[in-house]
A and B are shown apart, each in its own frame.
Chain A
Amino acid sequence: MDYSNLRRQAASMKKSLFDQGYLDEQFCQVEDLQDEASPNFAEEVITLFFKDSARLISNIEQALEKYPKDFNKWDAYMQQLKGSCSSIGASRMKSECMSFREFCGQGNVEGCMKSFQKVKREHGVLRQKLEAYFQLLRQAGPAGAATRPGM
């Protein structure tokens, strides 16, 4: 098994995610917290993020329906989602969250609805891409395997 090649692929995938704006520097900060004591830290945090963000998206969806034009409520939920995105470096998703909040501030229902669809779309895309990335990393094995000399 060519671990170094897999790790190269993972690095290339990550670079692409940065180049396309899906992720920002904060993602690196999270990955940098990984060490021997917490070897799966980044994946654990990202898993938490997707669990939490799915819940928040569901809350927002319900609020959009059950509380029409309650921009304060909608904004409050989106603030939480935006915060989580920010914490893991989910840059594109964060931007869409911010757009939604701007529309809330303007009292623009249609803007909020369209923006929310974009948030959901970005969420889905990011989830797919990060699942692929972490799967590749898992196949590549722990960092020690990649750095074994002479192999």
Chain B
Amino acid sequence: MGLGGEGSAAAAAPHVLAVDDSSVDRAVIAGILRRSQFRVTAVDSGKRALELLGSEPNVSMIITDYCMPEMTGYELLKKVKESSRLKEIPVVIMSSENVPTRINRCLEEGAEDFLLKPVHPADVSRLCSRVLR
């Protein structure tokens, strides 16, 4: 019946890393993700994201804001995709600004998707079911 396999797959909720320098947006995205039964870690910078990725082996997806001081979401995306260890992790970018060149640049760099803020639960659950299938 394969209960053992199904059981262990179902028990391990995907771990999503959310990155946003805005405390408000971090709370909202974390709330949306938890509602969809994901395990969430929310950090406030690309630097912290990379630190966590260095120590936490099982991140299923990264969802990051684009505009952040010091390290933008694009720069974080690049670092993830350049890392042999991390490059398979899907990265989604969020931005409050609809800038086509920005969106294209991120997609070309390997971003899974680009969400416009304010992010809606429906967008996130649609995205997650596609990315984390």
A residues bordering B, Cβ < 8 Å?
Answer: 26, 29-30, 32-33, 35, 37-38, 41, 44-45, 48-49, 51-52, 79-80, 82-84, 86-89
Residues of B14-46 at the interface with A, using a CB-CB cut-off of 8 Å, are 22-25, 27-28, 31-32, 34-35
B residues bordering A, Cβ < 8 Å?
Answer: 22-25, 27-28, 31-32, 34-35, 67, 96, 117-118, 120-121
Contact A32 B121 (CB under 8 A): yes
Name the one of A52, A79, A86 contacting B23, with C-beta atoms under 8 angstroms.
A52
**Residues of the A chain whose Cβ atoms lie less than 8 Å from the Cβ of B25:** 83-84, 87
Name the one of A32, A37, A41, A49 contacting B24, with C-beta atoms under 8 angstroms.
A49
Contact B96 A83 (CB under 8 A): yes
Query: When chains A and B are docked, how far (Å) is the Cα of A32 from the Cα of B125?
Result: 14
**Of residues B24, B28, B35, B118, which shows the largest number of chain A Cβ atoms within 10 Å of its Cβ?**
B24
Q: How many A-B residue pairs have CB under 8 A?
A: 53
Contact B120 A48 (CB under 8 A): no
Query: When chains A and B are docked, how far (Å) is the Cα of A30 from the Cα of B27?
Result: 10
Interchain nearest-CB distance for B119 vs A (Å): 8
Contact B35 A33 (CB under 8 A): yes
If A49-B24, A87-B28 touch, whether A37 touches B117 (CB-CB below 8 Å) is no
Query: When chains A and B are docked, how far (Å) is the Cα of A32 from the Cα of B22?
Result: 21
Interchain nearest-CB distance for B128 vs A (Å): 15
Interface of B is mostly: helix
**Residues of the B chain whose Cβ atoms lie less than 8 Å from the Cβ of A32:** 121
If A26-B118, A29-B118, A33-B121 touch, whether A84 touches B24 (CB-CB below 8 Å) is yes
Contact B120 A86 (CB under 8 A): no
Contact B27 A29 (CB under 8 A): no
**Of residues A32, A37, A41, A87, which shows the largest number of chain B Cβ atoms within 10 Å of its Cβ?**
A87
Query: When chains A and B are docked, how far (Å) is the Cα of A30 from the Cα of B24?
Result: 11
**Of residues B22, B27, B35, which shows the largest number of chain A Cβ atoms within 10 Å of its Cβ?**
B27
Query: When chains A and B are docked, how far (Å) is the Cα of A31 from the Cα of B80?
Result: 34
**Residues of the B chain whose Cβ atoms lie less than 8 Å from the Cβ of A51:** 23
